[in-house]
Structure 1
Amino acid sequence: MAITNTPVTGGSSPTQALLNAVNTRGSTDSSKSVTADQDKFMTLLITQLKNQDPLNPLDNAQVTSQLAQLQTVTGINKLNETIESLKKDYANSASLQATNLINHGVLAAGKNLQVASGKGLFGVELKNAVDTLQIDIKNAAGKVVHTQTLQAVDAGVLPLGWDGKMDDGTTAPDGMYTVAVSGMLGGKTAEGVQPLTFGTVASVSTGAGGTKLNVPAIGQLTMDDIKQVL
């Protein structure tokens, strides 16, 4: 059975009444809430019913359709609120996890190798296993001072250390060096082989850009940048 009602009189047209119904002059915060959206929809629906043409009233299908729209909008807003809550929880968890890494050594993508007291730490990341892995350590002038070859290396992150002994038998002076790596698989150059640089997490920063780990030897890193914690 169709729902009917007599039109509202008193100088206000149906069009104006509808505009008044959806006019949001109240609190901005409340208009963004799920409750405010529900109230807005219900006010609009009731206003439509009050101002409908008695000769051409809204049928039940139209009312049901608008109620379904209300449920859809309400569901979407609740989902958005849930997502925002999960994002905040994730950010708090990431910040706490990052703080626990302060004073810990980490490996991240990079070719720099800091030698101190005749020793240095670095790493290699392999996308696939390789038959042979060649590691070349170069000085500031770009000259290879030490070469090391490893056999049958599995995929993954491989932390390595250098004792500072150069190929000419002397000890490398402290300072910054670089690492170049290459792998062979089945007689062909392997892909997905990259050097990793070592650093110690000094502090953690949080802000609009998310949680950042401050590593003096590398720079600012995200948690996703960390390949391994040592």
Structure 2
Amino acid sequence: MAIADTSSISGVNAASAAASTASVANDDNEQRFLKLLVAQLNNQDPLNPMQNAELTSQLAQMSTVSGIEKLNSTLSGLVNQTGSNQVLQAASLIGYAVLSPGNTLTTTAPAEGADPAPKAFAVELPGTAADVQIKIVDGSGKTVRTIDAGSMNQGVNSVTWDGKDDAGNVVPAGSYTFTVAATNGSSAVSSTALTFAQVAAVKQGTSGVTLELATGQSIGLSDVRMYL
């Protein structure tokens, strides 16, 4: 078992170190400002002393700069905390099957004399569709099964394929894809194909948290519609 290097700073410790560094920098800036202000007061022209309004303006400027630096530090801490929470949330999905955009279905050979295991997938619609037709296509581009799903409501609609072709024969084990045609009369309705895949790993990069699926596909946390 690999042992992490405890001398490195990561996660919450890194955020704390950054906040501490920012605090020291802010204190140094304030000290330098006060020293310059005192020097300015000590060396001002007695016949033309600094006016109260000018002194107040300089103090207000320093206060504004300090406030902005503290706000930036606070926001940075919140961003780091949000990223950590997303990683923990995503990590809890490892091992689960998630429903996300995709149109690939994989079948396996059933036991002799048994029916194949049904393949569950889904269709997401932005609105109601009066007629939805789904076509299952094999690797050569041939349509092996046409499913007339009828009407579907707005949102995620579940669909099941029994692993058989239009003639009722069990299709060979392998990878298939499906297409969706949703309409309201003569008007087409846009649709999103959704399939289940197991989450194998979680990765955090510059673009955020991603889920690595067992199929080799990478998706964002926001792509997950549901999990089993």
- The TM-score, its normalising length taken from structure 1, stands at 0.77
Q: Name the residue aligned to 2:134.
A: 135
How far, CA to CA, are the matches of 2:138 and 2:192 in structure 1?
18
Superposition CA RMSD, Å: 2.3
Task: Specify every segment of 5 or more residues in structure 1 that has no aligned partner in the other structure, as ranges.
Answer: 1-28
Which of 219, 222, 225 is 1:221 aligned to? 219
Name the SS for the 1:202 alignment partner: strand
Please identify, of 38-47 and 214-223, the stretch whose mean Cα deviation from structure 2 is larger: 38-47
1:104 and 1:93 mapped to 2: Cα distance?
A: 19
The one-character-per-residue Cα deviations of 1:140-166 (angstroms, maximum 9, x if unpaired) are 111111111223311112233211011
The change in CA–CA distance for 1:56 and 1:134 in structure 2 (over 3 A counts) is farther
Q: 1:36 to 1:127 in 2, by over 3 A?
A: farther
Q: Once the two structures are superposed, what CA deviation does each residue of 1:28-53 show, in whole Å capped at 9, x if it has no partner?
A: x4686332333333333333323333
CA shift at 1:208, angstroms? 4.6
- Alignment of structure 1 residues 64-103 onto 2, 5 Å: 64-103=56-95
Match of 2:199 in 1: 201
Distance in 1 (CA, whole Å) between partners of 2:93 and 2:130 is 34
Map 1:26-37; keep pairs closer than 5 Å: 29=21, 33-37=25-29
What residue in structure 1 maps to residue 156 of structure 2?
157
Relative to 1, partners in 2 of residues 1:116 and 1:51: Cα closer, same or farther, differing over 3 Å?
farther
- What is the aligned partner in structure 1 of residue 39 from structure 2? 47
Q: Tell me how far 1:207 sits from its aligned partner.
A: 4.7
Identity of aligned residues (%): 37
Secondary structure in 1 matching 2:225: strand
Which residue among 104, 108, 129 is the counterpart of 1:112?
104
Q: Using the TM superposition, name which of 194-203 and 54-63 deviates more.
A: 54-63
Q: Is 1:185 matched with 2:184?
A: yes
Distance 1:154 1:32, change over 3 A: farther
Structure whose CA Rg is larger: 1
Distance 2:130 2:81 in 1: 44
What code does the residue aligned with 1:152 have? S
The letter for the 2-side match of 1:48 is: Q
The amino acid that maps onto 1:225 is D
2:89 alignment partner AA: Q
Structure 1 residues 59 and 183: CA distance shift in structure 2, 3 A? same
Q: 1:190 to 1:209 in 2, by over 3 A?
A: closer
Shifted more, 120-129 versus 203-212: the winner is 203-212
Residues paired across the two proteins, number: 202
* Distance change >3 Å, CA 47–CA 149, structure 1 → 2: farther
